[in-house]
Amino acid sequence: MSVGTSHVRGLRPLVMVMTLSYPITLHLAIINGFLQLAVWILLAIAVAHSLLILNSSKRKLTDLFPPFVAALAVICLLMKVETALYLPPVLISSLLFYLFGRTLLPGQEPLITRIARRMGDNDLPHRRYTHVLTWVWALFFAAILMESVLLALFATIEVWSLFTNFINYLLILVLFLLDYLVFRVIYFRRPPSLNAVRRVLREKNLQRIVRD
């Protein structure tokens, strides 16, 4: 392993922290009027993700997202506009809608059914439920996508930021908790074991499930 490669891989924890803190950091910059700083923050995260992608041996279509966002951020900084800030929520919700929606096509196994099967759950009633739940998540991300576009076009940047950087993530958390608590615990009375969850959430396993 080269020194450069080692250094790039060492960036992974920092990139994760930057990414997780991005919504709050961005929203604080926007509501305080530091729009150019917000674009710089976006540029830093996009460049960091691009470095990790260059270090990866496998290439995916989504690997084009970070360099594209970085290039747009540079253009926006040169032109002193904030257009690049609107792009990540659209890309993220589009990608998530695609990941769930494509598994609902004929001949495909719904994504959440696939995840449940990897956890060892093959019961027919559960498969029907996970099929419906995959539809729920796909439609949810389609709604989030439309909301992000409409707010970008017709709302102030502060209102747009409030929804895309805070409220939308809260809605995702609420939907996830409703799924787990109401159906997994109360209805089926058999929540997945922690070991099964850890096994599925391992990076390579999760990538394999999504690609299948």
Residue 101 main-chain phi, psi, to 5 deg: -65, -40
Residues in the chain: 212
Are 211 and 157 contained in the same domain?
yes
Written as one string, the DSSP assignment of 14-34 is HHHHHHHHHHHHHHHHHHTT-
Q: What total number of domains does the chain contain? A: 2
Per the listing, tokens 């360099």 go with 67
Q: What is the pLDDT of residues 150-167, one digit of tens each?
A: 999 999 999 999 999 999
Average pLDDT, the chain: 79
Are 122 and 184 contained in the same domain?
yes
Q: Interhelix angle for 3-10 vs 12-31, to 10°?
A: 50
- Nearest CA among 55, 44, 36 for reference residue 17: 44
Are 43 and 97 contained in the same domain?
no
Alpha carbons 117 and 123: distance in angstroms, whole number = 9
**By residue range, what is the domain housing residue 16?**
1-81
Q: What sections of 55-110 are H helices per DSSP? A: 65-79, 87-101
141 contact partners, CB below 8 Å, separation of at least 6: 93, 96, 97, 100
- Which H or E element spans position 9? helix 3-10
Are 207 and 140 contained in the same domain?
yes
For the full predicted model, state whether its pTM sits above 0.95: no
Q: What is the pLDDT of residues 64-98, one digit of tens each?
A: 778 878 888 888 888 878 888 998 999 899 999 99
Are 58 and 145 contained in the same domain?
no
More confident residue, 113 or 53: 113
Q: Lowest-confidence range among 46-60, 128-142, 190-204? A: 190-204
Single residue among 47, 64, 81 that ends a domain in this structure:
81
Please report, as a single letter, which amino acid is at residue 95. Answer: L
Please report, as a single letter, which amino acid is at residue 114. Answer: R
Are 146 and 212 contained in the same domain?
yes
Please report, as a single letter, which amino acid is at residue 46. Answer: A
Are 62 and 135 contained in the same domain?
no
Predicted local distance difference test score (pLDDT) of residue 186: 54
Q: What is the pLDDT of residues 15-25, one digit of tens each?
A: 788 888 889 99
Are 76 and 94 contained in the same domain?
no
Are 65 and 99 contained in the same domain?
no
Are 73 and 108 contained in the same domain?
no
Please report, as a single letter, which amino acid is at residue 201. Answer: L
Structure tokens belonging to residue 31:
């509501």
Are 54 and 14 contained in the same domain?
yes
43 contact partners, CB below 8 Å, separation of at least 6: 70, 73, 74, 77, 84
Are 5 and 32 contained in the same domain?
yes
